[in-house]
Chains A and B, each alone.
Chain A
Amino acid sequence: MDTLYLVFQQTMFFTIPLLLVALGGMFSERSGIINIALEGIMIMGAFTSILFINLTQDKLSGQVQLLLAILIAAGTGIIFSLLHAFASINMKADQTISGTALNLFAPAFAIFVARRIGGTQQVQFKNTFRIESVPVLGNIPVIGDLFFKNTYITTYIGLAILVISVVVIYHTRFGLRLRACGEHPQAADSVGINVYKMQYAGVIISGALGGLGGLVFVVPTSTNFNATVAGYGFLALAVLIFGQWHPVKILGAAFFFGLMKTVAASYSAIPVLATSGIPSYIYKMIPYIATLIVLIFTSKNSQAPKAEGIPYDKGQR
């Protein structure tokens, strides 16, 4: 039973950042803008917020520091994503090119600044954020062990954002308008929706969630930030497609990925797998092979927003 709890808790550490970033990607793509820059946005968000933690270590600690870091991560993500919004919406640039540029920029920038400030490219931080057991809730049998022990406040924030996303996308005027812009911007425009504004909103939300996802990825899995989020931004894109641009399905996809990643990272601690004699590389490959296979079976009826990736031009009908 203990192993099961351990695996589940570990899985959440991998699932939540994927969930957040894929939800961010969903908002952007639902508005019609492909955001391949999620990887770069994650790196920038993680970088500034971890740097903040590093610099305020003497004065702050615990949940207050983490909450401030969350705000900084989201803010950084927003600012950085504005570059993508400007290129794709105002300049009508190819969205993949602009995204690729941001992905190139982020790690280089993070390393350059980290070297300038601290001399090395790693940014160390003290992890004072882990919650051993949530008061009261942690004592509930089974559920307490699964959800309320060895956890981080970010897990709950992530799940809250999922609920908010479902409400916003499907039950608000804003969500309806956002989806209209991704499906048929001309039609949306004809009924008085400002397409450019909605697309900016979509990209900005993806920036906030992407930046936050970067921080949430680094905190539980490491004690230093080395200008990389290990391809999680790209994985989040796969999760987004796997989840068919639908928030709840995205959670399922993120959880599947998180579980596979956990198996790959900690198979030696899982007795059944440790004695099986399968080399670790096989476990490392499984998430990617599995994704490819699942996509083969699900992509025939792709639910992708119809107008995504096409710069909106008012003059075009």
Chain B
Amino acid sequence: MKRKRDSIGFLSSLFAIVVGLLVGFLILLVSNPSQAGAGFWTIITGPLTHGSKGVGQVFYYATPIILTGLSVGFAFKTGLFNIGSSGQFIMGAFAAVVVGIKGEALGGAHWVVALLAAILAGAIWGAIPGLVKAYFNVNEVIACIMTNYIGMYLVNYLVSTNKGLYDKIHNYSKSVAETANIPKMGLDKIFEGSSVNGGFFIAVIAAVLIYLLLNKTTFGYELKAAGFNKDASKYAGMNEKRNIVLSMAIAGALSGLAGALLYLAGSGKHIEIQDVLAGEGFTGISVALLGLSNPLGILLAGIFIAYITAGGFYLQLLNFSTEIIDIIIAVIIYFSAFSLFVRVVITRMQKKKEEARTAEKGGKK
């Protein structure tokens, strides 16, 4: 039964992707008919046409959004909508950058400590909406939106007023020490010239860990139970308040880790002092929805979205703006919300088939 539900979910995601790409093609066609075919081909194959570097870049883009996707998806599984990934992401990034700049004495353990700091910062920032939800009944969506803005302004404030962290000329954070960058773990040999690094392996490990946590532990079962039916899980003696706080803290930790993996990638990223929320958090929502909140689905969805985003960059060569990719992703998410509809259609088709089969059998008798 479970397998059947999964396969229908997969089909509805596939249906959404096909519709999304079709809409993208239509928009290309309307805006510039002569280049539409070439443009569409670029979206589909762009990242594969630049050798191993192009493929490596896809994994590099995928790394943070797999983690923010896990963050949102994990919270979904426990019945919470973590729209606060963006704030948790930037808090994690900030903690990682602080350790990255100041912690040179740590030597070989430098990057590990930086990652741990980011996980902690993200967890604390995620726990805030969890706490106010559990103890004061504050809607977590609104609390998350508030913590997004507070986190963004707080990081901007802390960086720009701290001489040790702030690069005034470029209006962004100073570069982290070499030792804080995540080791390449051999990926630079395979994908020469790209920015992919060991962070991708960390993202994959995180996906596996979250899968095990949700499906193979009592704790994960409790969290999911709260997501399915809050009252029933409370009746069964589970500590629902504690579970809400822990769910949000874990979700926050994943987003915080995402921030660290992006800013310690060794690709020259700095925290820019702008009044703009981190986009990775919102992309995480798309990734989680497309991946049906399943950790392994999220892994694939993250790579898929990174893939077409990379395709969008090459699209600029044909004078199309990259926003077409965002439109395609939006359409995909919109149609993935129709999963119930797809399920009804599929089961109806299966029923018809079965009816036809039994009718045939009856006829032979």
Closest to A304 in B: B139
Contacts of B339 in A (CB 8 A): 93
Residue A174 lies at the interface, judged by CB distance under 8 Å to chain B: no
Closest to A311 in B: B340
Residue A156 lies at the interface, judged by CB distance under 8 Å to chain B: no
Question: CB < 8 Å: which of B81, B137, B141, B338 contacts A87?
Answer: B338
Question: CB < 8 Å: which of A96, A112, A282 contacts B321?
Answer: A112
Could you tell me the distance between the alpha carbons of A36 and B145 in the complex, rounded to whole angstroms?
Answer: 12
Contact A231 B277 (CB under 8 A): yes
A212 to chain B, nearest CB (A): 22
Contact A105 B149 (CB under 8 A): no
Contact A289 B334 (CB under 8 A): no
Contact A94 B337 (CB under 8 A): yes
Contact A91 B337 (CB under 8 A): yes
Q: State the main secondary structure of chain A at its contact with B.
A: helix
Among the 9-residue stretches A15-23, A136-144, A234-242, the one with 4 or more Cβ atoms under 8 Å from chain B is: A234-242
Contact with A along B305-347 (1 / 0, CB 8 A): 0000000000000000101101101110110111111000000
Beyond A238-B146, A282-B157, whether A97 also contacts B136 by CB under 8 A is: no
Contact B331 A237 (CB under 8 A): no
Closest to A94 in B: B337
Among A259-296, those with CB < 8 Å from B are 279, 281-282, 284-285, 288-289, 291-292, 295-296
Residue A197 lies at the interface, judged by CB distance under 8 Å to chain B: no
Could you tell me the distance between the alpha carbons of A18 and B33 in the complex, rounded to whole angstroms?
Answer: 41
Contacts of B145 in A (CB 8 A): 231, 234-235, 237-238
Residue A92 lies at the interface, judged by CB distance under 8 Å to chain B: yes
Residue A170 lies at the interface, judged by CB distance under 8 Å to chain B: no
Question: CB < 8 Å: which of A92, A234, A279, A285 contacts B150?
Answer: A285
Question: CB < 8 Å: which of A87, A109, A115, A296 contacts B138?
Answer: A296
Contact with B along A287-317 (1 / 0, CB 8 A): 0110110011101101010000000000000
Residue A102 lies at the interface, judged by CB distance under 8 Å to chain B: yes
Residue A83 lies at the interface, judged by CB distance under 8 Å to chain B: yes
Interface size range of chain B in the complex: 35 or more
Could you tell me the distance between the alpha carbons of A288 and B129 in the complex, rounded to whole angstroms?
Answer: 13
Closest to B157 in A: A281
Closest to A39 in B: B145
Most chain A beta-carbon neighbours within 10 Å: one of B154, B331, B333, B337:
B337
Beyond A93-B337, A237-B145, A285-B154, whether A104 also contacts B132 by CB under 8 A is: no
B194 to chain A, nearest CB (A): 26
Residue B143 lies at the interface, judged by CB distance under 8 Å to chain A: yes
Beyond A237-B145, A238-B146, A241-B142, whether A111 also contacts B334 by CB under 8 A is: no
Contacts of A112 in B (CB 8 A): 27, 31, 321, 323-324, 327
A43 to chain B, nearest CB (A): 12
Most chain B beta-carbon neighbours within 10 Å: one of A36, A291, A302:
A291
Question: CB < 8 Å: which of B154, B324, B341 contacts A91?
Answer: B341
B197 to chain A, nearest CB (A): 28
Residue A60 lies at the interface, judged by CB distance under 8 Å to chain B: no
A120 to chain B, nearest CB (A): 10
Contacts between chains A and B (CB distance < 8 A), count: 133
Among the 9-residue stretches B119-127, B167-175, B282-290, the one with 4 or more Cβ atoms under 8 Å from chain A is: B282-290
Contact A302 B137 (CB under 8 A): yes
Contacts of B142 in A (CB 8 A): 237-238, 241, 291, 295
Interface size range of chain A in the complex: 35 or more
Contact B333 A97 (CB under 8 A): yes
Contacts of A115 in B (CB 8 A): 321, 323
Contacts of A288 in B (CB 8 A): 146-147, 149-150, 153
Residue B360 lies at the interface, judged by CB distance under 8 Å to chain A: no
Contacts of B243 in A (CB 8 A): none
B62 to chain A, nearest CB (A): 18
B96 to chain A, nearest CB (A): 21
Contact A91 B338 (CB under 8 A): yes
Contact A300 B326 (CB under 8 A): no
Most chain A beta-carbon neighbours within 10 Å: one of B156, B286, B334:
B334
Could you tell me the distance between the alpha carbons of A300 and B331 in the complex, rounded to whole angstroms?
Answer: 37
Could you tell me the distance between the alpha carbons of A281 and B338 in the complex, rounded to whole angstroms?
Answer: 42
Contact B334 A83 (CB under 8 A): yes
Among B156-181, those with CB < 8 Å from A are 156-157, 160-161
Residue A124 lies at the interface, judged by CB distance under 8 Å to chain B: no
Could you tell me the distance between the alpha carbons of A235 and B340 in the complex, rounded to whole angstroms?
Answer: 31
B165 to chain A, nearest CB (A): 14
Contact A91 B146 (CB under 8 A): no
Contact B327 A231 (CB under 8 A): no
Contacts of A302 in B (CB 8 A): 137, 139
Residue A98 lies at the interface, judged by CB distance under 8 Å to chain B: yes
Closest to A83 in B: B334
Could you tell me the distance between the alpha carbons of A92 and B31 in the complex, rounded to whole angstroms?
Answer: 33
Could you tell me the distance between the alpha carbons of A104 and B309 in the complex, rounded to whole angstroms?
Answer: 14
Beyond A36-B141, A104-B282, A111-B323, whether A92 also contacts B329 by CB under 8 A is: no
Could you tell me the distance between the alpha carbons of A236 and B47 in the complex, rounded to whole angstroms?
Answer: 40
B287 to chain A, nearest CB (A): 12
- Can you list 14 A-B pairs with a CB-CB distance of less than 8 A? A83-B334, A87-B338, A91-B337, A97-B337, A98-B334, A100-B289, A101-B330, A101-B334, A104-B330, A109-B323, A235-B145, A292-B132, A299-B132, A299-B136
Given contacts A91-B341, A100-B285, A288-B150, 16 further A-B contacts (CB under 8 A): A91-B340, A98-B337, A100-B333, A105-B331, A111-B321, A111-B323, A112-B27, A112-B31, A116-B31, A238-B142, A289-B146, A292-B143, A296-B138, A299-B136, A299-B139, A302-B137
Task: Please give the residue numbers on chain B whose beta carbons come within 8 Å of chain A beta carbons, in ascending order.
Answer: 27, 31, 81, 132, 136-139, 141-143, 145-147, 149-150, 153-154, 156-157, 160-161, 275, 277, 282, 285-286, 289, 321, 323-324, 326-327, 329-331, 333-334, 336-341
Top 7 A-B pairs, shortest CB-CB distance: A108-B326, A281-B157, A105-B330, A93-B337, A101-B334, A104-B330, A101-B333
